[in-house]
Amino acid sequence: MFKPVPQSMQQLIASGYQVVNIAIGLSGFGYLLKQDTHYVTCAVQPDRTKPDAFVSECRAMN
């Protein structure tokens, strides 16, 4: 569980994952993605090196 996924959230959605839940926190957004029986959680935060850009970090949940 929570093994890092090398794809970005954008790449996962392009490959067929769907957003099934969202959470808003102080430091960014959290998304739950699903494809078939596979779940991935992604955190999206502002990119500290580029103004007006965001980065995602995703981890497999099963």
> For 25-32, what is the mean pLDDT?
87
What band does 5 get if pLDDT is binned at 50, 70 and 90?
very high
Residues 57, 46 contacting (CB under 8 angstroms): no
Number of domains, the chain = 1
pLDDT digits (tens, 9 = 90+) for 32-52: 999 999 999 999 988 889 988
Residue 28 is predicted with a pLDDT of: 80
pTM here is 0.85
Buried b (16+ CB within 10 A) or exposed e, 31-49: bbbeeeeebbbbbbeeeee
Burial environment of residue 58 by CB neighbours within 10 A (0 to 12, 13 to 18, 19 or more): buried
- Domain span at 10: 3-60
Look up residue 13 and give its amino acid.
Answer: I
